[in-house]
């Protein structure tokens, strides 16, 4: 008797695009599913903010393509080109991982890439990642919500200059959240002074507590603190550079009430290494 399935025509491998969140910087924060897909991928397109250490886990024959964008510069890969690469490799029957810093759908253009795949008839899956909007404050000793402090928080993109007429941000609402809840600003290094000035012009007290966290969750994490009215100057004096997150709200006080852990741990580790 013939074995079952011998006469079945073998179908060509169907490609798929996996939009994988790599997390905020610490390579250990990638999800189990994200790591599994990375290890089995035929092609990996990775961002500037995706932890470079994760590429150590791909197969030897995996093609890796850097498609990172540089803030405020034009020499990064344009989004249309990235979309085309995803579609091209998936249509060739390959398993494609689009490795993105943080979460693909939080200021990561994952929605644009998903829609491009859908329009091209390419199968895709979303693998959420740990968002820097929550993880970076946590590594600085700050819980973005705390029942003794607030009942709300908002994440705001500081990518645009508030002086731009096309900026649609509601600064009255953002100022209210910053004063009564927690406001997290991502990608706001370049326009920080203007953003904070606009928040204060719309009701946020200049004395509101705030902090900036550079390269959060990594061994290079740095934290500066100050009132909203002086934070931009403090950041400039300390040469804070992107990637950095700004946190405004009373929850920033938690860092000095026992929740500061990561940079303290790093300091102890560095001190111990220096003694060897």
Of the residues 187, 200, 211, 212, only one is catalytic, namely 187
Is 263 annotated as catalytic? no
Catalytic: 69?
yes
CB 95 within 8 A of CB 86: no
> Choosing from 69, 161, 190, 193, which is the catalytic residue?
69
Q: Is 26 a catalytic residue?
A: no
Catalytic member of 26, 42, 47, 103: 47
* Nearest residue to 218 via CA among 22, 34, 21: 22
What amino acid positions are annotated as catalytic residues?
47, 69, 187
């Amino acid at each position: 008797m013939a074995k079952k399935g011998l006469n079945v025509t073998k179908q060509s491998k169907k490609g798929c695009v996996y939009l994988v969140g790599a997390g905020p910087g610490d390579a250990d924060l990638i999800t189990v599913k994200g790591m599994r897909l990375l290890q089995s991928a035929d092609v990996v397109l990775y961002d500037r903010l995706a932890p470079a250490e994760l590429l150590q886990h791909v197969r030897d024959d995996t093609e890796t393509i850097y498609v990172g964008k540089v803030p405020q510069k034009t020499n990064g890969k344009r989004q249309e080109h990235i979309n085309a690469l995803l579609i091209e490799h998936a249509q060739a029957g390959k398993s494609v991982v689009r490795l993105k810093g943080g979460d693909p759908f939080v200021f990561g253009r994952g929605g644009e890439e998903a829609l491009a795949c859908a329009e091209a008839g390419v199968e895709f899956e979303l693998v959420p990642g740990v968002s820097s909007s929550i993880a970076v404050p946590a590594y600085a000793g700050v819980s973005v919500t705390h029942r003794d402090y607030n009942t709300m928080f908002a994440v705001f993109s500081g990518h645009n200059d508030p002086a731009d007429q096309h900026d649609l941000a509601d600064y009255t609402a953002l100022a209210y959240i910053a004063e009564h809840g927690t406001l997290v600003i991502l990608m706001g290094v370049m326009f920080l002074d203007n953003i904070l000035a606009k928040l204060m012009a719309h009701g946020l007290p200049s004395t509101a507590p705030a902090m900036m966290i550079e390269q959060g969750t990594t061994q290079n994490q740095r934290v500066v603190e100050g009132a909203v009215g002086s934070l931009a100057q403090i950041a400039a004096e300390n040469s804070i550079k992107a990637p950095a997150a700004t946190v405004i709200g009373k929850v920033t006080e938690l860092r000095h009430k026992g929740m500061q852990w990561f940079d303290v741990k790093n300091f102890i580790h560095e001190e111990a290494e220096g003694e060897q």
